[in-house]
Structure 1
């Protein structure tokens, strides 16, 4: 076997544990992710304060959007809206999260598996207790959930987290495009079914962006430091 083939074999052997190469410097990517994460966090907290100042009552934009969704209601629209609602529900998201984590483990990418699992666990750990504590009432004519845990939208938060995490890991344009469309569809679905106010799904989206970008940056730093220590130990 010649040297070129040996190099190719070595590259294939390490492809499972090393993140795909990128034309952008890793430090720059992490810096960008941190900036986006911090901005999303600030916007999320700001929106939470705005909702708190209204005693968790719907804001004018919430009422206007809810009215628009009511005016567009149709049996076909409801059926379509239930698709992301079911797929992105608790069971659906658990299955997607577990399946994605297993795929990365099988492909010998433990850091990426950790990234997915940690992001989903953290976004749920933040959003679920917050929704219970805030106890914001849903629209009175909700076609889905009726429990007063409207802010933030868990469906939207988890969907956004998975999309952003996979986008950062896989670094493929089609992943981002498909992911953005999925998040927008989820946000529309939750408001079309009157399960959430517009500010609920917006908050869920911001929460997901914040968690996904910050966790990804933290995992990448840990990955790099461990690689550096391993290299130093064998030097």
Structure 2
């Protein structure tokens, strides 16, 4: 093989030759990929629409003298008649896990700490801000609407039936973790958790149907709106290795 032939061998040289000859891939290989752009507007718009829907439903409730809608009374009657000891026990467990100190303080702190331990500081900051936003909006709407809870109730919740705090906390966790990890199983588990929480609140007589839907919309809306300014950083962080803090950065390279 001559020296000229040897100079033309190898992947670098063949790529260069293809570029010079004007093959279909020449332009693609000659230019670096465009900077990544994360689409925020559709998700931000969805979050705003969710909170606007909560405001509209809350307004209707206030103008209807804070009474439940007719179909909600019928649904509550059916659920009350279908109560069984086993299902009631499960609903009471969800009541404990989904509200109070556990849902509003302990679980968010554990999630934030877990994200920090696995080197996801932007995700931890995003989740903390979103959780505070969801809890704040939920409390504000509760005070403004002041809806009375159903009478046939098996638990002793705080003031205000609309929106459901349990439902908003569940939806916030489901949506925020779904946006952080971007895994199908996380979305499926989160949706299942939120739906179970909504059903348990009605089953226990703690909320009307519109309360649980309003709560879910608050959680989803807060998670989406807060996500928008974090979107690009979360995307980049998600593509990085996430070794726990007790494993040095060079561990993988040495092994």
TM-score (normalizing by structure 1): 0.79
Question: How far apart are the structure 2 equivalents of 1:115 and 1:84?
Answer: 25
Are the structure 2 counterparts of residues 170 and 146 from structure 1 closer, same or farther at C-alpha, using a change threshold of 3 Å?
closer
Question: How far apart are the structure 2 equivalents of 1:79 and 1:155?
Answer: 17
Are the structure 2 counterparts of residues 38 and 99 from structure 1 closer, same or farther at C-alpha, using a change threshold of 3 Å?
same
Give the CA deviation at 1:52.
1.5
Question: How far apart are the structure 1 equivalents of 2:157 and 2:227?
Answer: 34
* Structure 1 segments of 4+ aligned residues over 4 angstroms from their partners: none
2:61·2:145 contact (CA, 8 Å) conserved in 1? Answer: no
Query: 2:128 maps to what in 1?
Result: 117
SS at structure 2 position matched to 1:27: coil
- Any stretches of 5+ residues in structure 2 without a counterpart? 1-35, 238-255
Question: How far apart are the structure 2 equivalents of 1:116 and 1:64?
Answer: 37
- CA RMSD of superposed structures (Å): 1.8
Tell me if 1:134 matches 2:134: no
TM-score (normalizing by structure 2): 0.74
Counterpart among 32, 38, 50 of residue 42 in structure 2: 32
Question: How far apart are the structure 2 equivalents of 1:203 and 1:61?
Answer: 16
Larger radius of gyration: 2
Count of aligned positions: 199
Query: 1:8 maps to what in 2?
Result: none
Tell me if 1:154 matches 2:173: no
Counterpart among 171, 179, 185 of residue 190 in structure 2: 179
Query: 1:56 maps to what in 2?
Result: 66
Q: Report which of the two has the higher share of helix.
A: 1
